[in-house]
Every structure is written in C-alpha cells, then in structure tokens.
Structure 1
Amino acid sequence: MNNSGSRTTENNPHPELPCFQELLDGTDWASLATPYGTGESLPAALTRLLDLDPAVRAAAAKDALDGVTHQNSIYEATVPVALYVAAILNHPATAAGEHAHKADLRQLRHPTRETLLDWLGNTAYDADDETVAIGERHFDEGFLDACPDIRAFRDLRPVIYTAVQPFLTDDNTKVRDAALVTAIPLIEHHALTSHRNELADHAHRLLSTSTDRHKRDRTLDALNAWGYDISTLENVHDITARELRTRMEDHDSWWASNATGGYAEDPPF
C-alpha cells in the first residue's frame, strides 16, 4: 500500500483522513490480501459505492465490504477499505437510500451511510479490546504481533472516529443509531476515552427510542462497562435478552471445559 491511509503535520500531530480519491488511487490494492485472494477488484467496487443508483450501491457494498471480511477476521485489505468507507461517509451519495414512494416513509429508508457505518462498527468490534484479550490468552501475549492487520486497524481508530462523530447527531434516526454503535468500540483507544460522556448522552436517546435488539445490547453493554447504572434504562425485553445471553455464555463455558463430544463419558466406552 503506497499511502499509509493517514497523515500528520508538524502543526497537527493527529492523523487526518485523506480524500477518498487519494486512498483509491494511492493504494496498491492488488498486493493486499483478502479472504478470497487479493484486492484487485476492490477499486471498481468501492467506486460504485457512490453511484447514483441505489441498487448499484447496494451491490457494491456487498462486493466491497463482504469481500474483505470473513468470520470476524481482519485482512490486509480491510484497513484501507475501512479508511475509504470513513472518507466517503460525508459524501452526498451515501445519504441516499432505497427508493421511497411516499414522503412519510423517509425514515424507513436505508441510507447507504447506515450500511457503511454498520460495517465499520462490526469491523471495529472484530478488533476491540475483548477480541485482543481473548487472542492474548491463546498467543501468550503476542496476539497483535501475530495479527498486524488488527493492530493497524486499532491504530487508526482515532481517524475513523473523526469521520463517524458528526453522524451522532444526524437527522436520520437510523444513521444516528448506527453511528453510536460504531463509535462505541472506536473510543476504546486511549486517545478517545474522554468521549464516553458524550456517547453516554447519545446512548440514553437511543435506548428511549430504539427497539433494535443488537443496537440496544451493544449500547447497554457499553454503558455498563463504563460504570453507568443501567437499571433504569433496561426494559423487560432487555432483561430477558441479557439473562438468555448469560445462560448461553455459561453453557458455552461449561461445554468448553467439560464436553466430551456430546457423550456422558470420555470415549472409548
């Protein structure tokens, strides 16, 4: 990759997000590994993310984003794609979504921006502190040395956050909620932890309006991890979901420690 994806100046020590066209033109995509080979087809797919036709954008999102992630893993090509996605978040084309036939269906549309934010958030969770902690237990504290692409993504969390932050107050509810859930794992970076209170305010808003199970769980987990009292924010569905997750985690933990292939005794019998 010819372009490091971020740049600093003497007067501004913080990384800046380059123009999306710079990223597209300055990256040696064909040299970057993906789950399915190399990234030589990525420039065309990434360019189509800004097409005027929403159907083309939707297909491009599948080609470009699914093409650099697989089974919660981050690859060489994932990092520059993440930077490109962050760089186009404010492009007017990403604000548009599926065609709506009635003006009152505006909030029911799915802006491309929402899709891009959701992907960035899922990728950030694949590189979050919990993922690293689990990896360290298996790699004898050498996980990030063995996974340089995860390290590279984690290092770029501040610059990605600067692209996500403006959408925390977007006019579109779906975009606002997606931005919040995306921002949560990004601010684990030591330079961003001061944003917790800001995100907590947005979290209260999401929890008062959203019924999305995934987004509510992510938000409640974050508030709890940050030391906020969530007892007044949970509804009956949240409590049921949390208790179910706890039972499943306990079962998985027991199975990992005690399972013998589904038999009551260790084979041979």
Structure 2
Amino acid sequence: MRDDHRLQTVADLPDPRSTLTRTNWATLHHAYGPATDAPEILTALLDADQGVRTKALDNLFGILHHQGTIYEATVPTAQYVAAILPDPRTRLSANKTHRSFPGCIRADLLAWLGSVADSITDAVDEVGQRLGFPLDDHPPAVAAREIRPLLLSAVLPYVDDSDRSVREGAIAACIPLLDDVRLLHHRATLVPLVRQILGTSELWQHRERAIDALDAWGESSAGLEGQRNPFLFCDTDLSPDSTPWPSAASNAEGWTEDPPF
C-alpha cells in the first residue's frame, strides 16, 4: 500500500512503455467510447513523421481530454505524457497554424498537462458543487487530483529550460498544479518565474495567467500588462471548414495572440 504521507515524485512515474502495455485501455473511456486507440495515439506523439505527430496532438487534446473533460483514460494518459517529457524526441515540432501553441512538442505536452490540472482546481470544484457536480463524485477527477504531486515533479525541471516556449509552458502548467494543498509550499519559489517569465510573455494568455496567479496567491502583479482588449479579435479569418477545437499544438484555451474562437 502506498504511504499517503509520502508525496509522489518523478521516480514514481510508471515507465511509459509499461503504461501503454499494462493499462487495460478497453475498460477505460475517453470522449468517444472505450480507449482502445489510446496506445496508438500516445505512441504517435513521438513518431518520426511530423504529420503523424500533429495528428496525435490533435487526438490528445480532442479525444483523451476533450474540451477539458477528465475521462477514465485521462489519468494514465497524463502519466504517460509526464513520463515522456525527457525524451529527446519531444524537441521535435508539429505542424503549426495561426492558432497553434508555439514551440516544440514538449511545450505542447506541458500545455496539455496544464489543461488537465486546470480541470481539477478548487475553483472548478466550487462551481461544480454549486451545480451539484462536485469533483469528489467523479472518480477520474479524484484520480487526477491524487497524482498532482507526481505531475508537478515531472513538470518542474522545465521551468528554467533553455527553450522559452518550454519554460513558459512548464511555469503555466505548474500554476494549477499548485492548487493542491500538498504543494502550496512551492508557490514561493515559483513567484519570481511567474512574474519575470510568464508575466513578460509574448502571449497575452500567459500574461493574463501570470496576473491571475499572482493576485490569487496574494502577490503583487504591479507592472504586468495583460490583454488590453481581447474583444478586438474575431474569427473572420477562419476557413469554412475550420474546426472549433484548437489545432494540434494548442490547448483548450488557445495559445497565440489570436483567441481560440
């Protein structure tokens, strides 16, 4: 039995190959039913072909964590994604569009982990409780909340990465993970990075996230500039067949100066 008093660390992450082969995916569900296709999706994230990687990222966001939903298959997927972050192949890229998250696949994977963490914060739970759907009544959400220390230990090494987009993605992913009461002590260390890196990002979404986090943590956000008028943007440049779901290297919020709508 796991010692509940010992926080999970990156050493506790299952080997990604083990997650693929030992998880009974057929008994788990994602947005479109049994997650029998999950191993293929996850393996394709590291494929040598850029088009294959791009499609895999689309499926990661659109099937295994569709519109921010935590499914049964989301938790083992999160463990797999966290475990492959050190793989050199995550330095490869995916096809980009005007709505894509900038940078290599590692930045996309960090954004995905951040999106999972965003879906299980106390604020989300508060809204759910008001509507009669607390997170505690949703076993996949409970399981996802339980592994937040594990995910944080996988994300933290990248908050000072040499790649700016990876660094920003890691810091942004840490913020919702630090909503966990077991991890609150990490906030003090992260504050300077939130202010100096995320708060000066070229992406207004990251700047807004920095301001919101600092304000929520009781820290000063003075001097940081968010998006002056996000309503200036519209979707008139989208083609008739454009999907409303963000493209492969983006998360549910979108990650360019254009908004995700």
TM > 0.5 between the two? yes
Residue 110 of structure 1 and its aligned partner are, at CA, apart by 2.3
Aligned counterpart for 2:140 among listed residues 149, 161, 164 = 149
Q: What is the aligned partner in structure 2 of residue 194 from structure 1?
A: 185
Aligned counterpart for 2:114 among listed residues 97, 111, 121 = 121
In the aligned structure 2, how far is the partner of 1:60 from the partner of 1:115? 11
Deviates further, 52-61 or 115-124: 52-61
Aligned alpha-carbon RMSD (Å): 2.3
Aligned residue runs from structure 1 range 42-191, under 5 A = 42-98=38-94, 110-139=103-132, 143-191=134-182
Q: What is the aligned partner in structure 2 of residue 240 from structure 1?
A: 228
**Cα distance change, pair 241–185 in 1 and its aligned pair in 2 (3 A):** farther
Deviation string 1:99-121 (CA, Å, 9 cap, x unpaired) is 9xxxxxxxx96211011111111
Q: What is the aligned partner in structure 1 of residue 6 from structure 2?
A: 13
Higher RCO (C-alpha 8 Å, min separation 6):
2
Q: Identity across aligned pairs (percent)?
A: 35
Number of equivalenced pairs: 223
**Cα distance change, pair 208–161 in 1 and its aligned pair in 2 (3 A):** closer
Residue 98 of structure 1 and its aligned partner are, at CA, apart by 4.8
Q: Is the 8 A contact 1:8 1:14 kept in 2?
A: no
Structure 2 unpaired stretches of 5+? 96-100, 232-261
**Cα distance change, pair 95–9 in 1 and its aligned pair in 2 (3 A):** farther
**Cα distance change, pair 86–205 in 1 and its aligned pair in 2 (3 A):** same
Q: Counterpart amino acid of 1:131?
A: V
Q: Is the 8 A contact 1:114 1:175 kept in 2?
A: yes
Deviation string 1:148-196 (CA, Å, 9 cap, x unpaired) is 1111111110000000000001010000001011010001111111111
Structure 1 unpaired stretches of 5+? 1-6, 100-107, 245-269
Q: What is the aligned partner in structure 1 of residue 246 from structure 2?
A: none
- Rg: which structure is higher? 1
Q: Is the 8 A contact 2:156 2:174 kept in 1?
A: yes
Q: Give SS of 2:159's match.
A: helix
In the aligned structure 1, how far is the partner of 2:113 from the partner of 2:166? 13
Q: What is the aligned partner in structure 2 of residue 4 from structure 1?
A: none
**Cα distance change, pair 162–241 in 1 and its aligned pair in 2 (3 A):** farther
Superposed structure 1 runs of 4+ greater than 6 Å apart: none
**Cα distance change, pair 48–92 in 1 and its aligned pair in 2 (3 A):** same
- TM-score (normalised: structure 1): 0.77
Q: Is the 8 A contact 1:75 1:149 kept in 2?
A: yes
In the aligned structure 2, how far is the partner of 1:208 from the partner of 1:69? 27
**Cα distance change, pair 159–240 in 1 and its aligned pair in 2 (3 A):** same
Q: What is the aligned partner in structure 1 of residue 197 from structure 2?
A: 206
